[in-house]
Amino acid sequence: MNRSKIIATALAVPTALAIAGCSAISTGTPPPQAAAAPAGAPIASAAPATGGTGSLAAYEGTLEQIYSQVNPSVVHVEVVEQAAAQPAMPDPFGLFNGQQGQPQVQVGSGSGFLWDNQGHIVTNNHVVAGASKISVTLSDGTTVQASVVGADPTSDLAVIAVDPQATASLQPIQVGDSTQVKVGQLAIAIGNPFGLDGTMTTGIISAIGRSLPTGSGNAPSYTIPNVIQTDASINPGNSGGVLLDDAGRLIGVTAAIESPVRASSGVGFAIPAAVVQQEVPGLIKDGKYEHPWIGLSGSTLNPDEAQAMSLPAGQRGTLVATVVSGGPADKAGLRGSDRQVTISGMQAQVGGDVITAVDGQPVKSFDDLVAYLADHTKVGQSVKVTLLRGGKEQTIDLTLAARPSDPAGVANNTGGN
């Protein structure tokens, strides 16, 4: 079966406003928060009650302690973006009082969290992209101005900065090991859904190893690998907020939901903390992060495609659809699919190389390929790609390049998706 992309809803809260006389919704003065626990203070493992008031009280106490320790590190991010002016309409009676054709303002909000003692705050790129003004409200109600330090649209991460004095009394988030997350473990989300500051919800890790596209609609896009799925309630406004483990450590950045109604349906997605740790230092230092790039589009080989290529129905791997002209795969001699077949009444491209391993690590799906490149390689690194071509196995040396910033442009150059 071809890889199925998650069509997810970004979780920033947009509000379109005319330029005159409007403001964002205010929820009033935030309630006072409990004092933060000392950095590194141990938190008893949280587990849902299995019976008895003592177990329930212990579970509640753990959640209270996590909230008291972590919530001061979570911030409310508000952005203003200038939008194109609407064309003026005839106004013979002066009903619009000369307001037509003026620039429009879009106001949105999301979440973020304190990364270090230098005032750096991590959020989602889609929260701050295109913003002309960024304001950050801390848990005590203090509002300060912020600016973008670095951003990576292809991983939907951004770092903004505020005056370090404003956050001097706050503890940066403690980062956990997202590679050790297991399905069924407790998941705790803190953010600002619908602009409601300091909202905490709980659930479990529903799945791991998801892939999240960073584009929109049917446009070509890159994917974020190893995304964490949770049923902890997250909603518009949670973008850039934290997903925590049972010790209050960051395991993910809440970024998207799968829902037909732009509200929680119990299917939410978080960018894993391992990606955040990998990228944020580069975003702070250089303002960007360079991803290793192989230069091809493809999908997970399914049994029908395998049989159409005279391969065993159980053959696993990544079927190469297109190869970017002049890219690493093209230079190494990889071949894309070259013929169409009809499978279940639909046209499918087949005949390309089938990648089965990289550096000896099995590749059973397209997601395996993306995850290996993201987790174990860097720009300029040479890798050994094992593939099937015409049913025969061979290994090709390939040198990875820096990923282009625009996947649509790459796809247009190759005819691929």
What residues contact residue 158 under an 8 Å CB cut-off, 6+ apart? 122, 123, 124, 125, 127, 128, 129, 148, 150, 151, 152, 283
156 assigned to active site: yes
239 assigned to active site: yes
For 255: left if phi > 0, alpha if psi spans -120 to 50, otherwise beta; the answer is alpha
CB distance 324 to 295 below 8 Å: yes
Coil, strand or helix at 353: coil
Cα–Cα dist 316/369, whole Å: 12
CB distance 167 to 138 below 8 Å: yes
Tokens 């509000």 belong to 15
Element (H, E) at 181: none
Q: Which of 156, 245, 330, 353 is catalytic?
A: 156
120 assigned to active site: no
Cα–Cα dist 390/398, whole Å: 20
DSSP-assigned states of every residue in 159-177:
EEE--GGGGTTSPPPPB--
**DSSP label of 50:** -
Element (H, E) at 92: none
Q: Which of 111, 155, 239, 264 is catalytic?
A: 239
CB distance 385 to 398 below 8 Å: yes
Q: Which of 73, 109, 111, 126 is catalytic?
A: 126
CB distance 254 to 9 below 8 Å: no
CB distance 383 to 359 below 8 Å: yes
Which neighbouring-strand residues pair with 199? 191
Active site residues per annotation = 126, 156, 239
